[in-house]
């Protein structure tokens, strides 16, 4: 039997990871390394030590049975029902975890009438997406870069699988909210936005909403607390640049929001 995934946070009353009031389950372990990642404690699979702000050692991550997680999710079902919310499986990368566990958890939520959203960077076998699709009402799908070389440079992995899985989800009727990181002087320009729109059109990919995620500096201190070096040296896009990019997507007919 495969090991249970490690979970490093169960966040209740979340309003940024899909519609309504949600519980977000953060799975630990990610196959890529985004240079701007503000949750470095989510990257390694399995528990690890992080130093707290007052200098103590804390173990990040623990395992739970599917039953235990369902109990925590179910406790707030009334709020999901009233707000059109549900549960979001996030990370790290949920689709790169033990899929037997994830599928069982999603299936149980669906059986209870709790809407499931999947927050993913797209770097996982297509077969995993095929397995989870029947249970997921929404995919929050990151497209870090449309250019594979830039994807490789800033995440350590090309984007071929990301594009393939996005195509797969669209072809199979998934509801997709596309999430685009905006890094100042790297990909906040109008050419990048135009290239993404062209590719979506060429591939006939249906996206229900686009979220623009401007780079921010939160979480930089966590690298030091994990005894790692933070090499982030990015520039925040200006409000004007964000508005310009937003206008390009809006003009192309997309529903766009700023932030997660």
- Shortest CB 39 distance to ligand SF4, Å: 5
The set of residues, in sequence order, having a beta carbon less than 8 Å from that of 201 and lying 6+ positions away, is: none
Task: Tell me whether residue 34 or residue 143 sits nearer to ligand SF4 (CB atom).
Answer: 34
Indicate which single residue of 34, 70, 87, 193 sits in contact with ligand SF4 (rule: CB under 6 A). 34
Q: Assess 39 for contact with ligand SF4 (CB under 6 A).
A: yes
Q: Assess 140 for contact with ligand SF4 (CB under 6 A).
A: no
- Shortest CB 143 distance to ligand SF4, Å: 11
Task: Tell me whether residue 135 or residue 154 sits nearer to ligand SF4 (CB atom).
Answer: 154
Both structure tokens of 221: 């201190």
Q: Assess 91 for contact with ligand SF4 (CB under 6 A).
A: yes
Rounded Cα distance, 180 and 145, in Å: 8
End-to-end CA distance of the chain: 35
Q: Assess 32 for contact with ligand SF4 (CB under 6 A).
A: yes
Say if CB 90 and CB 28 are below 8 A apart. Answer: no
Stretch of 36-44, 51-59, 72-80, 128-136 contacting ligand SF4, by CB under 6 A = 36-44
Q: Assess 92 for contact with ligand SF4 (CB under 6 A).
A: yes
Say if CB 169 and CB 139 are below 8 A apart. Answer: yes
Residue count, binding to ligand SF4 (CB under 6 A): 12
Q: Assess 211 for contact with ligand SF4 (CB under 6 A).
A: no
Task: Tell me whether residue 70 or residue 132 sits nearer to ligand SF4 (CB atom).
Answer: 132
Q: Assess 18 for contact with ligand SF4 (CB under 6 A).
A: no
Rounded Cα distance, 92 and 61, in Å: 11
DSSP state letter for 5: P
Indicate which single residue of 70, 99, 114, 121 sits in contact with ligand SF4 (rule: CB under 6 A). 121
Sequence-separated contacts (24+) of 10-13 with Cβ below 8 Å: 10/69, 10/72, 12/76, 13/76, 13/79
**Residue located via tokens 């960077």:** 121
Stretch of 4-12, 29-37, 190-198, 217-225 contacting ligand SF4, by CB under 6 A = 29-37
Both structure tokens of 69: 């997680």
Task: Tell me whether residue 21 or residue 121 sits nearer to ligand SF4 (CB atom).
Answer: 121
Rounded Cα distance, 202 and 26, in Å: 34
Q: Assess 5 for contact with ligand SF4 (CB under 6 A).
A: no
Tally of CB atoms within 10 A around 126: 15
Say if CB 145 and CB 159 are below 8 A apart. Answer: yes
Indicate which single residue of 6, 14, 24, 43 sits in contact with ligand SF4 (rule: CB under 6 A). 43
Residue spans of alpha helices (H) in 118-182: 126-132, 148-155, 160-171
Task: Tell me whether residue 79 or residue 260 sits nearer to ligand SF4 (CB atom).
Answer: 260
Q: Assess 193 for contact with ligand SF4 (CB under 6 A).
A: no
Binding residues (CB under 6 A) for ligand SF4: these are 30, 32-34, 37, 39, 42-43, 91-93, 121
């Amino acid at each position: 039997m495969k090991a249970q995934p490690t979970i490093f946070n169960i966040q209740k009353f979340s309003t940024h990871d899909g519609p309504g009031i949600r519980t977000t389950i953060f799975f630990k372990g990610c196959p890529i390394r985004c240079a701007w990642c503000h949750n470095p404690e989510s990257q390694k699979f399995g528990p690890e030590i992080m130093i707290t702000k007052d200098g103590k050692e804390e173990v990040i991550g623990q395992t739970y049975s599917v039953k235990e997680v369902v109990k925590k999710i179910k406790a707030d079902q009334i709020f999901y029902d009233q707000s059109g919310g549900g549960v979001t499986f996030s990370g790290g990368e949920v689709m790169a975890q033990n899929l037997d566990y994830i599928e069982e958890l999603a299936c149980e939520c669906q059986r209870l009438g709790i809407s499931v959203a999947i927050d993913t960077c797209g770097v996982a076998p297509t077969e995993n997406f095929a397995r989870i699709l029947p249970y997921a009402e929404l995919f929050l799908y990151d497209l870090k870069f449309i250019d594979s070389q830039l994807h490789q440079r800033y995440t350590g992995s090309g984007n071929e699988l990301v594009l393939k899985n996005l195509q797969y989800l669209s072809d199979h009727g998934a509801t997709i909210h596309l999430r685009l990181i905006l890094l100042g002087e790297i990909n906040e320009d109008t050419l990048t936005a135009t290239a993404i729109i062209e590719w979506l059109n060429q591939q006939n990919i249906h996206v229900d909403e686009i979220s623009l995620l401007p780079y921010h500096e939160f979480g930089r201190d966590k690298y030091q607390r994990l005894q790692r070096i933070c090499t982030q040296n990015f520039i925040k896009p200006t409000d004007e640049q964000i508005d310009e990019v937003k206008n390009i997507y809006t003009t192309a007919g997309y529903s766009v929001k700023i932030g997660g």
